[in-house]
Amino acid sequence: MKIFAAEFIKSCVSPEQFPSGNLHEVAFVGRSNVGKSSLINSLLNRRDLAKISRTPGKTRAVNVFLVSTSDPDLPQFHLVDLPGYGFAKVSKSVRTQWGPLMEDYLVDRASLLTVVMLVDSRVATDQDSQTLAWLRSIHRNPLIVATKVDKLKPGER
């Protein structure tokens, strides 16, 4: 599949703002600063389409990107960058709002085709295990991607 174009569509802070329509969606979930936005940029061959930061919690809303492809069976779809769970340098009230927002998105989206769960290869956490179990309980069997492998020592790879 060749990607012709990719563009930022919107940031959603409530379920009412989620895109309407029938385009398939691929959502990226994982802890704060695990590399969700970086992976989206890499997949789309765009350096700064999804905003990244060294500070955990840069993604504070459900960010939606429209992707146009050469595939006649999937000419357009949405990539969705979700806020990270776990440590983030944001207020507790903001973190508290993220849970229901992500739950509404992941549970109720009929157009959600795939969930990609990113896990830091250096550290497995209880939050990752709990998130994986929860995703499976709602019948969202994620594709798991190990990130930050480049930061491992050669013997750990």
Beta strands in 13-51 (DSSP E): 25-30
Mean pLDDT along residues 112-133: 92
Name beta bridge partners: 144.
Answer: 117
- Write out the two tokens for 106: 């992941």
Contact 80, 36 (CB under 8 A): no
The rounded Cα 117 to chain-centroid distance in angstroms is 7
Question: Which stretch of 1-5, 40-44, 90-94 has the lowest confidence by average pLDDT?
Answer: 90-94
**Structural domains of the chain, with CATH:** 3-156 (3.40.50.300)
Residue pLDDT, tens place only, 16-62:
999 998 899 999 999 988 999 999 999 999 988 988 876 655 566 89
- pTM for this one? 0.88
